[in-house]
Amino acid sequence: MKPVIIVNFKTYAQATGENAERLAKLCERAAKQHDADIRVAVQAADIYRVASKVSIPVYAEHVDPIDPGQNTGFILPEDVEAEGAVGTLLNHSEHRLPGKQLEEAVRQAKEAGLKIVLCARTVEEGAALAHLSPEFVAVEPPELIGGTVSVSTANPALIKDAVRLIDAPLLVGAGVHTAEDVRIALALGAKGVLLASGVAKAKDPHEALEELLRL
């Protein structure tokens, strides 16, 4: 299995609307050139725009635990699937879903045919979520999110523990910028990484992707 690299576009201006399309195309180009498994997670409003322009997998950043009906302003799992998403992040550190709601969101997203990347702030939380059978559990220590020090260098022990204790394929994230960050994560047993600012906020996102893929 190729290492999985999911680029989360968050709500960065550099990764919104027209810029989301541009960045997704750069990700697609890098994926093709390096035969890499790069996926993008984009805002709900950008899913159709991005998914209709690139062939790499597009994920939603979030969906709500709702059925079709009276839910004004919420994100319906069936809708993101219809717009071209193949999966969704859930419970990201910046968009948490408390217990029962998370279980319900997983159920609804699965019913809609979406793959699920379940985010966790700690190994313990990830271990407790694995029974929901996501595609991946992604562990991201919140204090490292958006910084320049990666989980791989700051806390390799966390990755080892996560591999040992979480009964699901593992991604790790927070502060990932370099191929070395990815290499360490893979060497310790993760299947890939979830990252955002290292690519989305880079001066030259093309170069940032090239650096990540010097594996």
* Catalytic annotation present for 140: yes
**Pairing status of strand 58-60 against strand 136-139:** unpaired
Measured from the CB atom, the residue of 77 and 173 that comes closer to ligand G3P is 173
Which pair of structure tokens corresponds to residue 169? Answer: 């394929």
Which pair of structure tokens corresponds to residue 103? Answer: 């279980």
Which pair of structure tokens corresponds to residue 136? Answer: 């991946």
Nearest distance from residue 89's CB to ligand G3P, in Å? 7
Q: Pick the catalytic residue: 81, 83, 92, 177?
A: 92
Nearest distance from residue 33's CB to ligand G3P, in Å? 22
Name 128's Cβ contacts closer than 8 Å, sequence gap at least 6. Answer: none
Measured from the CB atom, the residue of 78 and 147 that comes closer to ligand G3P is 147
Measured from the CB atom, the residue of 11 and 78 that comes closer to ligand G3P is 11
Question: Per DSSP, what are the bridge partners of residue 59?
Answer: 41, 87
Q: What are phi and psi of 93, to 5 degrees?
A: -50, -30
Site residues (vs ligand G3P, CB under 6 A): 8, 92-93, 140, 145-146, 173-176, 194-198
* Catalytic annotation present for 21: no
Name 183's Cβ contacts closer than 8 Å, sequence gap at least 6. Answer: 215
User: What's CA 10's distance to the chain center, in Å?
Assistant: 10
Nearest distance from residue 198's CB to ligand G3P, in Å? 5
When CB distances to ligand G3P are compared, the closest residue is 197
Q: Pick the catalytic residue: 83, 140, 177, 211?
A: 140
Question: Per DSSP, what are the bridge partners of residue 199?
Answer: none
Nearest distance from residue 126's CB to ligand G3P, in Å? 14
Measured from the CB atom, the residue of 163 and 196 that comes closer to ligand G3P is 196
Q: Which residues are catalytic?
A: 92, 140
